[in-house]
Amino acid sequence: MRKGHVEMTHGAGGRVMAQLVEELFVRHFDNDFLNQGNDQAIFEGPGGRMVMSTDGHVVSPLFFPGGDIGSLSVHGTINDVVMSGARPLYLSAGFILEEGFPLADLERIVVSMAAVSKEAGVPIITGDTKVVEKNNGDGVFITSTGIGVVPPGVDISGSKARPGDSILVNGFIGDHGIAILSKRENLEFETQIVSDSAALHDLVAHMVEAVSDLHCLRDPTRGGLATSLNEICWQSGVGMKLREDSIPVRPDVQAASELLGIDPLYVANEGKLIAICPANETDTLLEVMRAHALGQNASVIGEVIEDKNHFVTMETGFGGSRIVDWLAGEQLPRIC
Amino acid sequence: MKYIAEFRDKKLAKGLAEAICEEAQSGRKYRIMEFCGGHTHAIFRYGVQELLPKYIQFVHGPGCPVCVLPINRIEQALELAERHGVILCSYGDMMRVPAQKRRSLLSAKAQGADIEMVYSTMDALEIARNNPDREVVFFAIGFETTTPPSAVAIQQAKAEELKNFSLFCNHVLTPAAIQHILQAPDVCEYEAVTIDGFLGPSHVSAIIGAQPYEYFAEEFQKPVVITGFEPLDIMQAVLMLVRQINHGSHEVENEYTRVVTQKGNIKAQKIVSDVFELRRMFEWRGLGMVPYSALKIRDNFSQFDAEIRFELTQNNARDVKACECPAILRGLKKPTDCQLFGTACTPDNPQGSCMVSSEGSCAAYWSYGRFRLQTKEEGVKG
């Protein structure tokens, strides 16, 4: 810690980032809320249990198929709030702008933010603007904070996965990362893939209503599905067994991944969630998810098992088995 | 997916596994070296070993381009970026390979060195065009597969009269390495590892063809089956090897006929020989000095040779003492035989090169297979 420097892997969402958070932020800020280890913190407010989450956005390029840094910042923050089962109420937006950035592009970003926040019914009610000298930023960085309120009886945390629970996802994984990658300088390739960027609060509201003892929710953004599942295993002290055949991956995402030598399990998503529920609620949950526009391709991808090593293992489509590890290093820089 | 799913079919795999079981004689061991890191990766990623009987064992070879690069060459690459102040362009895999004192290209970048990760040599040329007042060096590594793009970059730089581009050549040759392994005294004389047959590389063979393997198949009486990177390719090739081993034959067979021909890609070979020539001696991590096992830039392209353009220090950097990469790369030891494996050395904090690239056997063991390591499990943290 004393000798090192910040490297790109510290922001990639994998184990190195988890260690940085643990050994630096959690250690020094040290409080019960942070120790929950979730992407958001739940606290008692005068009107009941409230939730707060904050999220920085540094995506490159700023505009990509299916969204831009503005819509991403709104969706991303709403999703972090609602992964506690909460109803999102308000957002903030802090802008760090680079000298020379075209105002027309900034307006395009702000118009997009306004549109998606209106659509989600979660207004941006406060904000901040700072400008840094040319070459000291990359156009626009946006940080946003969201607050929400947790319905009575809902108690969702990454620490609540229990052996026997079912693991579900709400649809195709890897779309966002591949969409971004397809527009990267030096790497452009033709594809129809668009980012899955979406606000998941309505889907989550339906899920929470149908299955009151939902155990965990998490949006697998940086580090992808694989890393989020590993985080839950550590938080809950369990293992997981997945079936590769049941993990939804679009053929074109699979094809692009093959071409680039990356694994869709580690590619970022911005409109996906992992849900973990007791086995006897699996069918109900799956039905509710599939009935929703953002969950039509929902699938049960595996189950929680006892494992003192907290491994995520997977039966491969080929019939063998392997570990699905944390993301090591970084797969793609600046994805969200 | 078209032409992918077909080569990962569970039912066909089961059928092949049964055929292998029927063919193999249970009283003996079949030790098959997959030379290529791409095969090591596929074997672990798809769980191929699990479908095979226990007496068929894979010995992981040195065919991981990142893993075999000696630490001195990485030190020299760092020197280019730090002392000579060039923009160093590198393939992503090289970024985290540890040099001395736990430094790497990635850590040098974090401390201000101008190091760019590129996906192709063409990106490096573009960076050179866009930065005419800077020296741009491409850190060229890899076997025969990555050599043609390097050669094309040099040809193009010459055609464009690009004055600020050069290439730090570390290209190595597959047949020389296989031959070296078979000749190595600890492999042959003491029979520390008896290799019964080889899985021949996929992409390398697409360039060089099947023919170059014929010499050592004959000389060392070992069968070679060239095979693709898909798991069914690997299983089919194992079946073909088992049959050859049973019959005592030692032919070069080609399972990967959809890509590999007898003579390979003649056009690519011509481009390579236009730009590169054999290096008399080159150091490999794990194998030591291997004669005529690498390439250097020909004299008529010497203005693009970073080793000529820049003065580079010949240092005697050493690997981490307890690191078993050298023995692992020769197939003499398994990753789990190394005391650093999973404790001091993990993909997040690699001590040796085999833990860095996904093609390295330590990384494959750790990332895909460590749940099988019952004996060491207690010490293996997730």
What CATH number does the domain containing A299 carry? 3.90.650.10
B111 and chain A in contact, CB less than 8 A: yes
Reduced to 3 states, what is the DSSP secondary structure of residue B226? strand
Task: Answer yes or no: do A131 and A27 share one domain.
Answer: yes
Closest CA to B285 of B229, B339, B323: B323
Q: In what order do the strands lie in the sheet with A274-277?
A: A216-218, A274-277, A166-169, A299-305, A239-243, A312-315, A321-323
Domain with CATH 3.40.50.11740 in chain B: 71-173+264-309
The DSSP-derived string for B187-218 is HHTS-SS---EEEEPSHHHHHH-SGGGHHHHH
Task: Answer yes or no: do A180 and A95 share one domain.
Answer: no
Domain with CATH 3.40.50.11750 in chain B: 8-64+183-254
H/E element holding B332?
none
H/E element holding A156?
none
Does residue A92 sit within a domain? Answer: yes
Task: Answer yes or no: do A129 and A205 share one domain.
Answer: no
The answer to whether residue A4 scores a pLDDT higher than 90 is: no
What is the predicted pLDDT for the residue at A332?
Answer: 65
Does residue A2 sit within a domain? Answer: no
Q: Chain A closest CA to B364's CA: distance in Å?
A: 10
What is the predicted pLDDT for the residue at B377?
Answer: 41
Query: pLDDT band for position B90 (50/70/90)?
Result: very high
B348/A14 CB distance under 8 A: yes
Tell which of A229, A260, A318 to mutate to test the B interface (max B CBs under 10 Å): A318
What is the predicted pLDDT for the residue at B164?
Answer: 98
What average pLDDT does this structure show over A36-61?
92
> In this complex, which of B1, B47, B126 lies closest to A320 when CB atoms are compared?
B47
Structure tokens at B173: 């040759």
CA distance linking residue A20 with residue B212, whole number of Å? 49
The DSSP-derived string for A170-188 is -S--SHHHHHHHTTSTTT-
The answer to whether residue B318 scores a pLDDT higher than 90 is: no
End residue of a domain, out of A118, A149, A180: A149
CATH superfamily, domain B71-173+264-309, is: HypD, alpha/beta domain 2 (3.40.50.11740)
Cβ under 8 Å to A: B residues 20-59: 44-51
Does residue A125 sit within a domain? Answer: yes
B382 and chain A in contact, CB less than 8 A: yes
Q: How many CB pairs under 8 A join A and B?
A: 98
What is the predicted pLDDT for the residue at B376?
Answer: 41
Task: Answer yes or no: do A237 and A108 share one domain.
Answer: no
Q: Give how many domains chain A has, as a whole number.
A: 2
Residues of chain B found within 8 Å of residue A12, distances taken between Cβ atoms: none
CA distance linking residue A81 with residue A185, whole number of Å? 33
CATH of domain B8-64+183-254: 3.40.50.11750
CA distance linking residue A157 with residue A218, whole number of Å? 9
Q: What is the CATH number of the domain that holds A97?
A: 3.30.1330.10
Residues of chain B found within 8 Å of residue A1, distances taken between Cβ atoms: none
Task: Answer yes or no: do A20 and A113 share one domain.
Answer: yes
Q: Chain B closest CA to A314's CA: distance in Å?
A: 10
Task: Answer yes or no: do A107 and A234 share one domain.
Answer: no
Task: Answer yes or no: do A218 and A117 share one domain.
Answer: no
Asked if residue A66 lies in contact with residue A105, where contact means CB atoms within 8 angstroms, the answer is: no
| pTM for the model | 0.88
B126/A186 CB distance under 8 A: yes
A187/B110 CB distance under 8 A: no
> In this complex, which of A5, A233, A317 lies closest to B10 when CB atoms are compared?
A317
Task: Answer yes or no: do A264 and A306 share one domain.
Answer: yes
B118 and chain A in contact, CB less than 8 A: yes
What average pLDDT does this structure show over A129-138?
95
**Residue A256 CB: number of other CB atoms within 10 A?**
22
The answer to whether residue B228 scores a pLDDT higher than 50 is: yes
AA identity, residue A306: E
Task: Answer yes or no: do A170 and A316 share one domain.
Answer: yes
What average pLDDT does this structure show over B65-87?
94
Task: Answer yes or no: do A191 and A295 share one domain.
Answer: yes
Task: Answer yes or no: do A105 and A188 share one domain.
Answer: no
Reduced to 3 states, what is the DSSP secondary structure of residue A17? helix
Task: Answer yes or no: do A65 and A132 share one domain.
Answer: yes
Q: Chain B closest CA to A188's CA: distance in Å?
A: 11
For residue range B247-290, list pLDDT tens digits in order: 999 999 999 999 999 999 999 999 999 999 999 999 998 888 99
Domain that holds residue A216: 166-323
The answer to whether residue B190 scores a pLDDT higher than 50 is: no
Question: In this predicted model, which residue has the larger pLDDT, A190 or B239?
Answer: B239
